[in-house]
Structure 1
Amino acid sequence: MKNWNQLFVRHGWLIEDKGENTFDCSKETDVNLTFLMECLNKAKVDYRYIAPLKELTIFTEITEEEWLKILNFNHRGRGGHLWFRPGQDQPKVRELDTFICGIVRQLNRLGFYTTGSCDGHERRPAHLILTDKCQIETLVEILHTLGQKQVSWRENRNGSYHLRLPFKRKQLLYLAEQLSSVEEEWVEEGYDFIKEKLFQQQLEQLLSIPGESGNEEPIRKHVLEKLSPFVDFITVDQAGNILAEKTYKGGYGPTILLNAHLDTVYEIEKDREIIKEGNLWSSSKGILGADDRAGVAVLLHVAEFLHFTNSFRGKVKFIFTVEEECGLVGASKVHDYFLWGTDAAIVVDRRGTGDIVTSCGGYIPFCNVSYGEFFEKLAEEAELNGWATTIGGSSDTRIWAEHGIQSVNLSAGYNHEHTEREVLDVASCYETAKLVKAVLGKGNELKRVLRDIRRGKQVEEVTGTLL
């Protein structure tokens, strides 16, 4: 269920979340706040608004479907009094179409001023009209960064721009939520910068959610919500692990397992701060929690990337395990049927940078040598320096290898895990995400590598039988 911060963003209000369902409304107009109070009253939501402070506190939860019943009234967005001066006046939420309202507000916040909009009313594609001063190519690049490749635009005779959004109406709400994560000062920095910053935002959010071993419900709930839009199937098994699947391009390719664990070894301190010194993040007290929230961030990033691109053909299985820190408890309880047909696994739960772990201690192999070398090769091709195969310790990787799955464990960028000295190199963590995307982007090559490994095993078995 969407929280109130998401509902406000998705439906067009510029209100800052202060935590615990309390919101700073100082950046919102009185007209839009009046409409908000009307909607809250109609929905019979229990709330408190302190006008002098412009502070709103909500005491009642509501589903988005219930909220839409209040917001999506007849003839909304049609008729008079829709005029405002772009760049000077704030659009009025009441007068905008329900499903595009959030996008309009976010674009105006970022300096892409609109003069018209329509959510399509389920009869035609949604569209926006932007002023002649709009940097349309920059806007389209941002939308591409967010994975929205289907957008198109044209210049009108009067110099304004027509932006076409061929999405279902619910996807328009999601786009508004995506745009809310983009900060104004990022706009001129380009695709790569924005993509990395969005990754860091999600990572920071994950590092702020509790979930020590055996008490993973808060982080599990968060990951379920974030992952659900990008997969075909998702469930929680009896052990508490999240299991999900997504088929890409008909599934005619390898089946790859992506894995990270949800739990932290100790609880994250509630009142701690994340200290940022360049790319190095640490905690003001207690553990940082990057083991393995960094891995979780990588997998969520990859899931979104695969959803919005055509870079992979095959099937991806996602497993977010519980109680890994207690001895691989969650992974050991994943039912065999979910692992059937899996060709290879990529785990993101290794300390440091640049490690491609192919065995536990050098005596329990996780994969064939050629599988690890494939990662080295693609890292070099992607100009991701310093990646090399190595031996490592125990992790969920060992469980997948025991099932006969070719498996590696990749560095997630953290060091000194399980201690107050834990530190995370966020740039290295993002490089891990790049490597995983590079591997999946070479699905045909990966398929050949895995096929050759299987054939080699078959030859060994036949030879052994003859001898």
Structure 2
Amino acid sequence: MQNLNRLFIRHGFLVEEIEEGRFDCRKETEENMMFLIETLDELFVAYTKIKGLLKIEETDIDEERWLRAVDFTYRGRTEMLQFGPGVDIPGIKNFDTYMAGIIRQLNRLGLSTTSCCDGHEKKLPSISFTRDTDITTVVKVLTVIGLPNVHVRNHSISIRAPRIQLLDAAEALSTFSPEDLKKDIEELKKQSFLMELESCLSIDGDSGDEEDIRDWVLSKLVNHADSLEVDSKGNILAVKVYGRGKGPVILLNAHLDTVCSFDEGREIIKDGNIWSSSSGILGADDRAGVAILLETLKRLDAKNFNGTVKYIFTVEEEIGLLGAKGVEANFLHDVDVAFVIDRRGTGDIVTSCGGYEKFCDDSFGEFIEETASNNGLPGWKCTAGGSSDTRIWASHGIQSVNLSAGYYHEHTADECLDVEGCLGTVELLLTVLSEGKKLREIIRSLKEMKKMIS
């Protein structure tokens, strides 16, 4: 299910939710409002329209159901969508179904388009721009929001991505202002990540009550994973193949539950790079780990990684690693190494529980240390730690480590989060996975060592 406000953004309607179920429509054209009303009627959704406001009774709608309602034969057939001074913005019924949102957002940002096509699942989605539009800026912003495979030809681009991801792109672009486009790419990446991190930290869900955070994570994964499921325990299991897929199988893991519920009405307090809660826990254990993995997923397409990544977001970690214990062995049987993101502080590579229960061979931890140091990421060191899902993956014979997620004083009202530490963990993961040859060598060496011992 999708919140209606998100659906409107993803599909090109410039209406704004001012409170639950009430939308300000004054910025939208009469033509587009007629199309919106037609769509609601098609969906049999009750609404009331009064003086520029739209009150809608049903606030969550399945996106597949919505797509069926807004799609029709020959929609977007003209494709030529001229913009510029004195030229009216065409009604979004003239856009291909999957293009409406991204085109509205690009033009809102001042990146003026002239034509578009969503590819109709037969060719790559493409967009053409006016001569005065800076294509470098277009590529920059699309890369930041997770569309790195953009090919430029003259003043047109093609996007090597499924057209469903264009809807995600529209939603991500809606968070930027025209002034933001003046920032460099690293600033934009940070801004985009921090907004997602704040959203993640705003969703409650303690052990056994993870439904809301699970639905949110699923909405982020659904258009990016090659396979996606929720297992019988409630864990999210996702798989994505990168490159030719002829490489290592990596497990990335964080847990969905918090140790207790958020205090009602609490706010996130931001003091520079340090975030905390106005009351009760912040929930960075392990919402920070969840956000780090989602950001890694978004950025990994642009990196030189050839292999398979399995993502596991577990439930009920805080009450005995119950979700991880319930993951079927078949999902884990081909995993070479695992990275868990659920450790306090910054710079820790946890290789054992208390120094007595090893998660991996020393050489694997040392490889991560060395990779970080050689790539300008100082401070990462191997250490002993406490209990986490890492114990479960290690018990399956997987070389596993638990990496710092940037939080401190977890499980208390003094919990805080170093957001720069979060970004540092994203960079470490991307760097290690980009070291394809060295990663394959260490995995091969560890397998040979295991054979010799057995």
TM over 0.5: yes
- Identical-pair percentage: 51
Given the alignment, which residue of 230, 234, 237 partners 2:231? Answer: 237
Post-superposition offset of 1:238: 2.1
Report the AA paired with residue 199 of structure 2: Q
Post-superposition offset of 1:141: 1.7
Question: Is residue 2:48 matched to residue 1:48?
Answer: yes
- Residue 465 of structure 1: aligned partner: none
- Residue 27 of structure 2: aligned partner: 27
Could you report, residue by residue, the CA deviation over 1:354-397 in whole angstroms, capped at 9, with x for unpaired residues? 11111111111111111111111111122122111111111111
Q: Distance in 1 between matches of 2:18 and 2:410?
A: 30
Question: Is residue 2:383 matched to residue 1:390?
Answer: yes
- Residue 134 of structure 1: aligned partner: 133
Given the alignment, which residue of 178, 184, 190 partners 1:190? Answer: 184
- Residue 263 of structure 1: aligned partner: 257
Matches for 1:114-133 after TM superposition, within 5 Å: 114-121=113-120, 125-133=124-132
Post-superposition offset of 1:343: 1.7
Distance change >3 Å, CA 271–CA 88, structure 1 → 2: farther
| Range 225-234 or range 344-353, more displaced | 225-234
| Range 219-228 or range 205-214, more displaced | 219-228
Q: Distance in 2 between matches of 1:16 and 1:129?
A: 28
- Residue 352 of structure 2: aligned partner: 359
Report the AA paired with residue 12 of structure 1: G
Report the AA paired with residue 264 of structure 1: T
Distance change >3 Å, CA 55–CA 150, structure 1 → 2: same
Distance change >3 Å, CA 82–CA 152, structure 1 → 2: closer
Post-superposition offset of 1:78: 5.3
Report the AA paired with residue 403 of structure 2: L
Contact conserved, 2:82 with 2:113, CA < 8 A, in 1?
Answer: no
Distance change >3 Å, CA 240–CA 128, structure 1 → 2: closer
- Residue 418 of structure 1: aligned partner: 411
Post-superposition offset of 1:134: 1.2
Report the AA paired with residue 190 of structure 1: D
Q: Distance in 1 between matches of 2:232 and 2:401?
A: 26
| Range 357-366 or range 89-98, more displaced | 89-98
Question: Is residue 2:216 matched to residue 1:216?
Answer: no
Matches for 1:33-112 after TM superposition, within 5 Å: 33-51=33-51, 54-59=53-58, 61-77=60-76, 85-86=84-85, 89-112=88-111
Contact conserved, 2:346 with 2:405, CA < 8 A, in 1?
Answer: yes
- Residue 438 of structure 1: aligned partner: 431
Report the AA paired with residue 132 of structure 2: K
Unaligned runs of 5+ in 2: none
SS in 1 for 2:417: strand
SS in 2 for 1:325: coil
Q: Distance in 2 between matches of 1:390 and 1:353?
A: 12
Distance change >3 Å, CA 309–CA 338, structure 1 → 2: same
- Computing the radius of gyration from Cα coordinates, the structure with the larger value is 1
Distance change >3 Å, CA 118–CA 243, structure 1 → 2: closer
Report the AA paired with residue 436 of structure 2: G
Could you report, residue by residue, the CA deviation over 1:381-416 in whole angstroms, capped at 9, with x for unpaired residues? 221221111111111111222222111110000011
| Range 31-40 or range 342-351, more displaced | 31-40
- Residue 158 of structure 1: aligned partner: none
Distance change >3 Å, CA 86–CA 419, structure 1 → 2: farther
Q: Distance in 2 between matches of 1:87 and 1:111?
A: 15
Unaligned runs of 5+ in 1: 156-160, 462-467
- Residue 464 of structure 1: aligned partner: none
Distance change >3 Å, CA 68–CA 242, structure 1 → 2: closer
Q: Distance in 2 between matches of 1:247 and 1:76?
A: 33
Question: Is residue 2:9 matched to residue 1:9?
Answer: yes
Report the AA paired with residue 354 of structure 2: G
Post-superposition offset of 1:433: 0.9
SS in 2 for 1:48: strand
Contact conserved, 2:235 with 2:323, CA < 8 A, in 1?
Answer: yes
Post-superposition offset of 1:89: 5.0
Post-superposition offset of 1:80: 12
Post-superposition offset of 1:270: 4.1
Given the alignment, which residue of 434, 440, 443 partners 1:450? Answer: 443
Q: Distance in 2 between matches of 1:256 and 1:129?
A: 38
SS in 2 for 1:23: strand
Report the AA paired with residue 64 of structure 1: E
Given the alignment, which residue of 193, 199, 215 partners 2:193? Answer: 199
Contact conserved, 2:15 with 2:27, CA < 8 A, in 1?
Answer: yes
Post-superposition offset of 1:460: 4.3
SS in 2 for 1:404: coil
SS in 2 for 1:211: coil
Could you report, residue by residue, the CA deviation over 1:56-83 in whole angstroms, capped at 9, with x for unpaired residues? 4342643333333432334544579976
SS in 2 for 1:133: coil
Contact conserved, 1:45 with 1:60, CA < 8 A, in 2?
Answer: no
Q: TM-score, normalised by structure 2?
A: 0.91
Matches for 1:228-377 after TM superposition, within 5 Å: 228-306=222-300, 308-309=301-302, 311-377=304-370
Post-superposition offset of 1:272: 1.8
C-alpha root-mean-square deviation of aligned residues, in Å? Answer: 2.6
Aligned residues: 454
Contact conserved, 2:242 with 2:306, CA < 8 A, in 1?
Answer: yes
Q: Distance in 1 between matches of 2:13 and 2:174?
A: 11
SS in 1 for 2:341: strand
